[in-house]
Homo-oligomer: A and B are copies of this chain.
Amino acid sequence: MATVLVPLATGFEEIEAINIIDIMRRGGIDVKTAYLDDEFPSDLVTGAHGITVQADVSLLSVNSDDFDMIVLPGGHEGTNRLVANHKVQELLKEFKLKDKWIGAICAAPLALHKAGVLSHNYTSYPTIQDQIRHDGYTDKEKVVTDGKVMTSRGPGTAICFGLAIVKQLMGIQSHDKVKTSTLSDFC
């Protein structure tokens, strides 16, 4: 079974986080959510729109060897915390070094850029490319996969991002089943 780590930083974008987690679990992936040990060290993490979610584990307790992929939800404040958090940055570099999958949506590709693990071809929320680089950026795709780094654009593309991850980690049959059962024909 594939295993994916989803760090939840205070101010995370709720649609992005929950859609990705839900779709991946529907696809048979073992997903663990983790709270950050920054100024709000609690397993109850509040998103950008006041929705509080209970995380499964502390990020400090996480070992990269236990996961096939790390996926970062966006949100402005949430992304700033992912960029600033030492353990998140350390994990991103470890996942890259160990040839594991890395994903980020919305503003969160910034955290990949900060860690030096973003592939050449990528997408992000509009205007975020101004803080990364224009070369290699596209706004023509909902999901970009370059090597083992997957990026996506925002709340409206989060289900499609989750489905693309299921396709890579679990195969086309699992992808098709989840796409059909969630009525996601726009992906």
CB within 8 Å of B: which residues of A? 13-15, 18-19, 21-23, 25-26, 33, 44, 47, 49-54, 125-126, 153-157, 159, 182-186
Smallest Cβ distance from A20 to chain B, in angstroms? 10
Collect the chain B residues with CB atoms within 8 Å of residue A157's CB: 183
Smallest Cβ distance from A132 to chain B, in angstroms? 18
Which of B25, B26, B52, B186 meets A53, CB within 8 Å?
Answer: B52
Collect the chain B residues with CB atoms within 8 Å of residue A19's CB: 15, 18-19, 155
Q: With CB as the reference atom, state the residue of chain B lying closest to A154.
A: B183
Separation of A26 and B14 alpha carbons in the complex (Å): 11
Separation of A180 and B14 alpha carbons in the complex (Å): 17
Central interface residue in A13, A44, A159, by most chain B CB within 10 Å: A159
Separation of A29 and B184 alpha carbons in the complex (Å): 26
B159 touches A183 (CB 8 A): no
A184 touches B159 (CB 8 A): no
Collect the chain B residues with CB atoms within 8 Å of residue A186's CB: 156, 186
* 24 CB-based A-B contacts, threshold 8 Å: A14-B18, A14-B21, A15-B19, A15-B159, A18-B18, A18-B51, A19-B19, A19-B155, A22-B47, A22-B51, A22-B155, A25-B49, A25-B50, A33-B51, A52-B54, A53-B54, A54-B54, A153-B183, A154-B183, A155-B159, A155-B183, A156-B182, A156-B183, A156-B185
Collect the chain B residues with CB atoms within 8 Å of residue A154's CB: 182-183
Separation of A50 and B24 alpha carbons in the complex (Å): 12
Smallest Cβ distance from A149 to chain B, in angstroms? 20
Collect the chain B residues with CB atoms within 8 Å of residue A26's CB: 49
Smallest Cβ distance from A130 to chain B, in angstroms? 17
Separation of A94 and B21 alpha carbons in the complex (Å): 36
